[in-house]
Amino acid sequence: MTKKPAVINFINVLLSLIIVVLILAIICLLWIISPMKVSGNSMQNTLQDNDIIWVQKTGYSLQKGDVIVFKRPGADKPPVKRIIATQGDTVQFDMIGGYKVNGEYIDEDYLSFDFAQLYDEYYFTGTHQDTTISALLMTTGVIVGENQLFVLGDNRGVSLDSHSYGCIETDWIIGKVVNK
């Protein structure tokens, strides 16, 4: 019996190691964290069109202010939005100060727009608006249901979000954006 040279043994071990690392990388990219390309301007200035973001798909916790990616029925691409309110919260809107959650205005230092220009009549009457949602937001408020979230884009003037179609279901969530 002849022995394999040490170089061949080293190459076999190295190739085995590379294969294991590649398999682990594929598993991570498919089920744990993966890159995604932002499509659209609804999250400007936080995220720009065509930015690459990393989305954590498992093992995350969600809270107000987090940015998420989700599958919404009827959407061409998964939307990227910010969580404004969670289960049990009441969301209202007024033209003076913007959005309130549970009666308190939310601090949105990530927004960069002229408030008066953004929230015009069209904001709640555009073609994509659910008039029931709009009426509730402007009066008694929308109560976020069980296993739901109220989400908004940071670029409110162009964002199709919960002010348009209501709360999203938590089981629609693909993951949490971990880089901004």
Q: Which pair of structure tokens corresponds to residue 45? A: 């200035």
The reply to whether 30 and 112 lie within a common domain is no
128 and 139, same structural domain? Answer: yes
CA distance 35 to 30: 10
| 95 and 13 co-located in one domain | no
Picking from 69, 136, 68, 131, the residue whose alpha carbon sits closest to that of residue 99 is 136
Q: What is the pLDDT of residue 63?
A: 95
162 and 133 in a common domain: yes
pTM of the model: 0.84
What is the predicted pLDDT for the residue at 121? 61
> 73 or 174: which carries more pLDDT confidence?
174
- Whole-number Å distance between alpha carbons of 149 and 101: 12
Same domain, 42 and 113: yes
Q: Which backbone phi and psi does 70 adopt, to 5 degrees?
A: -145, 160
Cis peptide before 179 (omega within 30 of 0): no
DSSP string over 108-133: -TT--S-HHHHSSTHHHHSTT--HHH
pLDDT of residue 116: 54
Pair 26, 42 in one domain: no
Q: What's the domain count of the chain?
A: 2
Instruction: Check whether residue 67 and residue 116 sit in a common domain.
Output: yes
Report yes or no: 92 and 83 within 8 Å, Cβ to Cβ: no
Nearest in space to 38 (alpha carbons), one of 171, 166, 154? 154
Residue 46: give the domain boundaries: 38-177
pLDDT in tens, 142-180: 999 999 999 999 988 788 899 889 999 999 999 999 986
Same domain, 64 and 7: no
Residue type at 132 in one-letter notation = T
Q: How many CB atoms neighbour CB 92 within 10 A?
A: 18
Give the span between the Cα atoms of 35 and 33, in whole angstroms: 7
**pLDDT over 70 at 141, yes or no:** yes
Mean pLDDT across the stretch 6-22? 88
The tens digit of pLDDT for each residue in 78-113 reads: 999 999 999 999 999 887 778 999 999 988 888 866
Task: For Cα atoms 79, 84, 89, give the angle at the middle one, nearest 5 degrees.
Answer: 125
For position 127, what pLDDT does the model report? Answer: 65
Q: What is the C-alpha separation between 106 and 87, in angstroms, rounded? A: 16
pLDDT band per the 50, 70, 90 thresholds, residue 117 = low
Same domain, 2 and 50: no
- Please tell me whether residues 19 and 88 are part of one structural domain: no
Q: Based on the domain organization, do 52 and 114 belong to the same domain?
A: yes
| 161 exposure class (CB count in 10 Å sphere: 0-12, 13-18, 19+) | buried
Average pLDDT of the chain, as a whole number: 88
